[in-house]
Amino acid sequence: MAYLSQFAYYDNETNWGSYQYVSLKDVVNNFMMSYVGNHNLINNVPRSLVLFYAKNAIKELNYDAFKEVKALELGVYDTLRFILPSDYVNWVRVSVYKDGLLMPLNENVQLNSSISYLQDNAGNIVFSGTDIQYLDPSNIDRDRLDGTAKSVYLNESSPFNGAAGYNIGGDWYLDMPIGSRYGLNTSTANRNPTFRIDNKAGVINFSSDMAGETCILEYISDGMEGGNDSLISVNKLFEKYIYADIKYEILNNKLGTQEYVVRRAKKDRSALLANARIRIGGMHPGRLLMDLRGQNKQLK
């Protein structure tokens, strides 16, 4: 990238932090200039192929090494759904933002949403021509939306802790307790709403007590910036790895390349990836000191 004056850098907010990254365009240009030519191992390679491998390498880095977390805030309304962002790959944390605090939500390990085929009184599936008719919403979705789906009441200070019942309008209606009150299931010990991600539908489904709340999703992006190549970039710590990955992919798929050349390119790629992971791993002396300060804490 072209270097900016200090005034241009500080005066334009879009330039802040830009020197940490190299753009996709620069990656492709640098590779074509440095690695492709009649006197290089790689020649007669179209720019489109280099661009394809560069984007694949950046996506793999986002999945496996970058761990640069994005955050999206959306309100949750009567549908009890949060539409996943288009660049979503995996979730890091789902929280409700309330009273100035982020309160992490527990993932519901039980199914809380499904589709349902419409059936007649004999149990036969109803068709309209050749198309299946659906019951909308399904029974499990209806119970979740109107708050009549049972859940477990968790409150260690209450004699009803661990009881199954209904949470309607913030009020609990309890049945008989489930299991021992002393064997608290710590994986579900959370008074906040619950969620379950439906990757195929592209939504997060929440329990009924999430209606009207604000949800913040922290997630891993694919790094493709919605398909806008001009916005795609990679951290400079991974720049040499990107070149090595493109080089390996081209040589590995090129007819007639000697096997020892491919193995050497693969070895270079692996070594540069490991080196970049160490650099960006976040082992900071200040963070380490914060953790070590708690080693002498007295426990009752």
Q: Domain range spanning residue 208?
A: 69-221
Same domain, 189 and 241: no
pLDDT tens, position by position, 2-43? 677 888 888 888 888 888 888 999 999 999 999 998 888 888
Same domain, 87 and 139: yes
- 204 close to 80: Cβ distance less than 8 angstroms: no
Report the chain's mean pLDDT, rounded to a whole number.
81
- Note whether residue 51 is domain-resident: yes
Determine the pLDDT at residue 188.
59
pLDDT-above-70 percentage for the chain: 81
Partnered with residue 134 across adjacent β-strands are 117
In terms of DSSP H, where are the helices of the chain?
6-11, 24-35, 47-61, 139-146, 239-252, 259-280, 285-292
Same domain, 41 and 76: no
Does residue 280 register a pLDDT over 50? yes
Same domain, 31 and 79: no
Same domain, 87 and 195: yes
First and final CA of the chain: distance in angstroms? Answer: 57
Confidence of residue 180 (pLDDT cuts 50, 70, 90): very low
* Sole residue written with tokens 């949750």: 76
- 251 close to 265: Cβ distance less than 8 angstroms: yes
- Note whether residue 33 is domain-resident: yes
Domain count, the chain: 2
**Does residue 134 or residue 25 have the better pLDDT?**
25
Which of 38-42, 47-51, 178-182 ranks highest by mean pLDDT? 47-51
Same domain, 123 and 148: yes
CA 89 to chain centre: 4
- DSSP letters, 164-222, are EEEEETTEEEEEEE-S-TTS--GGG---S-EEEEETTTTEEEE-GGGTT-EEEEEEEE-
Confidence of residue 291 (pLDDT cuts 50, 70, 90): confident
- Note whether residue 236 is domain-resident: yes
3-class secondary structure, 237: helix
Determine the pLDDT at residue 179.
47
- Note whether residue 293 is domain-resident: no
Give mean pLDDT, residues 68-95: 89
Partnered with residue 254 across adjacent β-strands are none
Which of 63-67, 81-85, 180-184, 192-196 ranks highest by mean pLDDT? 81-85
Same domain, 56 and 73: no
Same domain, 121 and 194: yes
Does residue 111 register a pLDDT over 90? no
- Note whether residue 294 is domain-resident: no
Same domain, 112 and 172: yes
- In the DSSP assignment, the letter for residue 288 is H
Rounded Cα–Cα distance for residues 81 and 270 (Å):
41
- Note whether residue 111 is domain-resident: yes
Determine the pLDDT at residue 163.
61
pTM: 0.67
The encoded tokens of residue 196 equal 């379950």
